Amino acid sequence: MANAVTSHPVIAALLAIVVTLLGRFVQKGYKVRKAVHGAPGPPHSWIWGHLLVMNELMTSGEVPIKVHPHVTPLAFRQKYKLGPYFYLDFWPFGPVMLCCADPELGAQFTTLHSTRKHPEVVTTMQTIAGPGDLVSTSGSHWRKWRSVFNPGFAAQHLMSLVPGIVDDCKVFAEVLTALAEAGKPFRMEEYATRLTIDVIGKVVLNMRFDTQTGSNPMVNALRDQIFWIPNDTAMDPFKPYYPRGIYHRWQNSRTINNYLGEVLDKRFQEILHEKSADESTSSKERKRAIIDLAVESYDKEADSKTHQTTRLSSDFRRNAITQIRVFLFAGHDTTSAAICYALYYLSKDPSALSKIRHEHDAVLGPVEQTEEALKRDPYLISKLPYTTAVIKEVLRLNPAASSIRAADSQTHLTDPKTGEPLIMVPDMMLWLLHWSMHRDPEIWGPTVNTFNPDRFLPENAATLPEAYWRPFERGTRNCIGQDLAMIESRVALALVVRQFKFTAAFDAVNQMAGDGTMYGKDPKYREGRQELLGDEAYPVLVGTAKPREGMPMRVKLAA
């Protein structure tokens, strides 16, 4: 055997490469296992790390099979009586993770030393939006494009856009009326998402996508793109490389970019026309859309006059398309889910429903006058403290995501109580767990899993653990669209909670399985345990965190 190898140099070289790579693999594995073994966390195996305990958790029925991953650390913490931070080791199928539910520790790697976003976040966001997005990028590129879009997302400017948001929410109410007349169960998330996309089209581009009343190729591609995000690689490490998924992601991205590019070019020509038609008023008119302010801000940043040319600069156009894709995606993540969960929880809590309806009666007047009242005085939504509390409680119970960073050579973390240095592993994922912080009974009390908007009323502000409520994250890397999400959610509730009566329709999920939506494509979503913490509307991973089965509901006109 030895003579055969030595007589064939190519075989010998290949064998040497294999042995070397295998040796490095074993050496790295030993270093990882040695670092994590004995550290805070679930029972750890020298051979399997935490893969076995994860498999046990997911197959034992303790949590639903398709529950969103940000739920599992809290399940581990409660099962094994762990502290506010601990380690999970899924090498080589996933990164070593520091799971953190302590805002003081989290501040060490998000604020005091703002670490870069983890490569898994970068990969996911590039699939969704393309390179250079505001979620996963950092450094000078992030600062530049954040400053370009900041003026358009300022709260004062967004309030001027409320009349347009009201128009889109009116269409939403009309769609719900048709669903009520049809009398069939439907997936609320599908319709809430189309609402958020129409709102984003209006406030960002001053364009009507009209996705609520018809099919839109860009929206269809966006929904399909989310379905094909390869973000379940811990269970299937080869998922990003399946040819079918690669093709779908490429084709969807091409469709979205072409559509948004044409819309962006059209809006830019309208800006030029407005400016040339009436120089004295065009600036005021152009500030009606976020993209108009972004163009002006970009001109200042780049020290050029984009609006004096007949075409957008290639740099602005490319990056604007990327960021608009981020805004559309964020609508899936936060606003559409918040609307779904708000209607769900209110339907199960007659007292809360009565309170929010009474508030709307007192502030907005009769139902039929709500639209006109909000258009006449958009700041009325700032006079709805209980409505705001409902949305904040919804976001506490069901945050859209968490903050995921990556450790680097400059990352040195310490225990907030003892000051002892924490174990660091190269490229370790630093996972700031919003779900765990929002569901911590030591922080929120024994009613932690109960829908209770009263916690967020102004009179209870002194007792509110603000550092533990972070659906939009905090600090400089907070969500740029958080004010828009809160405004849109309040307007949507103002236009529908008094008009309609909603009930959950989880009894009809099998009936809706063949409806062609992304929820109906995978039967695993309907297998095994179908509740979490006593709630059947738990978050699932469909590219992002979404209500199970798209929040199936029935709707009737309110009496």
Q: Where do the structural domains in the chain lie, given as residue ranges?
A: 1-36, 120-400+445-557
- pLDDT of 234: 59
| Alpha carbon distance 347, 491 (integer Å) | 18
142: pLDDT strictly greater than 60: yes
| 528 CB burial (10 A radius; 0-12, 13-18, 19+) | middle
Residues 6+ apart with CB under 8 A from 477: 110, 114, 403
Give burial (CB, 10 Å; 0-12/13-18/19+) of 228.
buried
Distance CA 528, CA 541 (A): 16
Residues of the chain with pLDDT > 70, as a percent, come to: 93
Q: Quick one: average pLDDT of 371-380? A: 96
Burial bucket for residue 416 (CB in 10 Å: 0-12, 13-18, 19+): middle
- Topology of domain 120-400+445-557 in CATH is Cytochrome p450 (1.10.630)
- Chain segment 351-362, per-residue pLDDT in tens: 999 999 999 999
pLDDT score for 282: 47
Q: Which of 95, 136, 111 is nearest to 430 (CA)?
A: 95
Is 100 annotated as ligand-binding? Answer: no
The confidence score (pLDDT) of residue 287 equals: 46
Nearest CA-CA partner of 374 in 258, 487, 218, 207: 487
Q: Quick one: pLDDT band at residue 2, thresholds 50, 70, 90? A: low
Instruction: Please state, in angstroms and rounded to a whole number, the distance separating the CA atoms of residues 454 and 553.
Output: 25
Look at phi and psi of residue 445 and say left if phi exceeds 0, alpha if psi is from -120 to 50, else beta. Answer: left
Query: CA 526, CA 141: separation in Å to the nearest integer?
Result: 42
Residue 6: the pLDDT is 57
The DSSP string of 99-128 is EE--HHHHHIIIIIT-PPBPHHHHHHHHHH
pLDDT of residue 289: 83
Work out the angle at residue 459's Cα, subtended by the Cα atoms of residues 379 and 478, and round it to the nearest 5 degrees: 60
pLDDT level of residue 334 (50, 70, 90 thresholds): confident
Closest CA to 255 of 205, 208, 221: 221
User: CA–CA separation, 332 vs 416, rounded Å?
Assistant: 35
User: pLDDT tier at 286 (50, 70, 90 boundaries)?
Assistant: very low
Q: What is the DSSP string of 30-52?
A: HHHHHHHTTSSSS--BTTTBTHH
Q: In a 3-state reduction of DSSP, which class is residue 539?
A: strand
d(CA 266, CA 207): 9
Of 252-256, 397-401, 403-407, 515-519, the poorest mean pLDDT is in 515-519
Backbone φ, ψ for residue 440 (5° rounding): -85, 115
What is the Cα gyration radius of the chain? 25
Peptide bond preceding 92 in cis form (omega within 30 of 0): yes
Mean pLDDT over residues 400-420, rounded?
92
pLDDT higher than 70, residue 236: no
Residues 59-103: tens digit of each pLDDT: 898 999 889 999 999 999 999 999 999 999 999 988 999 999 999
Question: Residue 404: its pLDDT value, please?
Answer: 94
